[in-house]
Copies of this chain bind each other. A is one copy, B any other.
């Protein structure tokens, strides 16, 4: 056990330039489906992305994540087939007005992205009682999503695009990636170099849905109370 006093270090605000870099990553990050370049992702770059993910906050320092790095064309083809099946089911759920636009949208880049990555959550890691997880059992899943977002922002800084594909039947992912029952596939990501990104979210560009006014989403001290 380290002495607390020796572990504390000065931690003020970043310089203006550093601060702008963090916001640049946040504001220019996109969910990428079509802009992936075939150029391979260097092992050292992928390692940095995974290390960024591994430094996410986690409930009780549980670190419940694993990273299944997919580069094999057979696994990609199986995942693509699982997507195609699920996407047909999804399409049928939209009413006539939206279905045509839905069908026109490209929603994944499984085959084009040099790297696919499944980030999972091991719900048994570190034992049955986890600090901070006693009252909300899903906080381990939340930790895993924080890892996804860390990776996504690091990828933006590295010039890599990331697309999160969520249109799968859970049983298909489990079977293709051979996941044990106690492990949940939280995110299936397509990763590759990009030279261009949309200047706004693609679903906004394509007319699917607009960005909400942030101020309309903020309340003061209780739900519904305006500032």
Binding site for B on A (CB under 8 A): 1-2, 4, 7-14, 17-19, 21-31, 35, 48, 50-52, 54-57, 59-63, 65-72, 75, 86, 89-90, 93-95, 102, 105, 107, 120, 126, 129, 131-136, 138-139, 141-142, 145-146, 148-150, 152-154, 156-159, 161, 164, 166-170, 176-180, 183, 186-187, 194-201, 203-209, 211-212, 214, 217-224, 227
Nearest-neighbour CB distance to chain B for A147, whole angstroms, equals 9
Specify which chain B residues have a CB less than 8 angstroms from the CB of A35 in the assembled complex.
8
Specify which chain B residues have a CB less than 8 angstroms from the CB of A156 in the assembled complex.
14, 22
Question: A11-B197, A129-B93 in contact; A135/B50 too (CB < 8 A)?
Answer: no
Copies of this chain in the oligomer:
2
Specify which chain B residues have a CB less than 8 angstroms from the CB of A186 in the assembled complex.
142
* Given pairs A9-B196, A135-B166, A146-B152, 19 additional interface contacts (CB within 8 A): A2-B207, A4-B198, A8-B35, A8-B197, A10-B196, A11-B196, A18-B24, A18-B157, A22-B22, A22-B157, A63-B212, A68-B220, A75-B222, A90-B131, A93-B129, A93-B134, A102-B131, A177-B223, A178-B223
